[in-house]
Amino acid sequence: MLELFILALLLILLANSIRILKEYERGVVFTLGRFTSVKGPGLIILIPIIQQMTRVSLRTVVMDVPAQDVISKDNVSVRVNAVVYFYVENPEPAILKVENFLQATSQLAQTSLRSVLGEHELDEMLSKRDSLNNTIRNILDEQTDVWGIKVTHVEIKDIDINETMIRAIAKQAEAERSRRAKVIHAEGEVQAAKQLAEAAHILSKTPQSIQLRTLQTLSDIANEKTSTIVLPIELSSKLLGNSDPHYTESKD
């Protein structure tokens, strides 16, 4: 009977001493409470009672950052949520330096999201997401490096704005479009005036060109179903080649 009890006890101890770690897992081993080594993957044999092991996954963790209330630099209240991608690069500090690296990373991501976005205006939040994503990622990666964690990517998912602010943004966008249209129209007027001034300067040097241009204008007018054209005496004389506007042809 005693032998069966001893055999069962040995089997239990043997079962508790064997660990199998998958390819993406590592084991942080403690001997009598002191850190000994990082082992894995594969078969790991521990000394029962004396040694303990904590599993750590090396796979990328996709963490949703809860929606945060943020007040932008131009005093606009928005709700922003994001997603953070990270993995354990070094299992030892991930277990020894922080109690729960998942929770710690989540809390740090929330505070970083609020602090970074609070330094920018709403227009920048909407138009410069890539830059803001990189800024938040760099901050998280630098602060979690001491925990053996590598932050690979941060993505701002949604920026929720209240209805009043949405209407104000729409009015602002409409005013901006109107302003651009007026600027483009004014620039066109300036360019047209410059072209007309250059054309007038060229025509002033060659009176024949002015006459040809006048004849072209008369031709255009005649094409518009006009039967009678009244011209000043001076203009008629120039077109007929007479220098005296009061010149009249006489017959014997």
Q: What is the CATH number of the domain that holds 110?
A: 3.30.479.30
Claim to verify: residue 119 and residue 36 sit in the same structural domain: no
Q: Which amino acid is at 192?
A: A
Instruction: Tell me how many domains the chain contains.
Output: 3
Claim to verify: residue 160 and residue 201 sit in the same structural domain: no
pLDDT score recorded for residue 214: 67
Any residues with CB less than 8 A from the CB of 109 and at least 6 apart, and which?
Answer: 63, 65, 82, 84, 136, 140, 154
Whether the pTM exceeds 0.85: the reply is no
> 3-class DSSP state for residue 135?
helix
Q: Where are the alpha helices (DSSP H) in the chain?
A: 2-17, 91-96, 101-117, 122-127, 129-144, 163-205, 207-222, 233-240
Query: Per-residue b/e over 60-70, b at no fewer than 16 CB within 10 Å?
Result: eeebebebbeb
Claim to verify: residue 48 and residue 72 sit in the same structural domain: no
- Asked if residue 53 belongs to a domain, the reply is yes
Largest CA-CA distance found in the chain, in angstroms, rounded: 163
Claim to verify: residue 68 and residue 151 sit in the same structural domain: yes
Claim to verify: residue 152 and residue 201 sit in the same structural domain: no
Claim to verify: residue 126 and residue 143 sit in the same structural domain: yes
- Asked if residue 172 belongs to a domain, the reply is no
Claim to verify: residue 49 and residue 88 sit in the same structural domain: no
Which structural domain, as residue segments, surrounds residue 138? 61-166
Q: Looking up tokens 């000043």, which residue turns up? A: 232
pLDDT score recorded for residue 188: 86
Average pLDDT for runs of 10 along the chain of length 252? 77 82 95 93 90 94 93 88 96 94 94 92 88 95 95 92 71 80 87 80 66 65 60 55 47 42
pLDDT score recorded for residue 116: 93
Query: Per-residue b/e over 95-117, b at no fewer than 16 CB within 10 Å?
Result: beebeebeebbbebbbebbeebb
pLDDT score recorded for residue 212: 64
Claim to verify: residue 38 and residue 67 sit in the same structural domain: no
Claim to verify: residue 147 and residue 71 sit in the same structural domain: yes
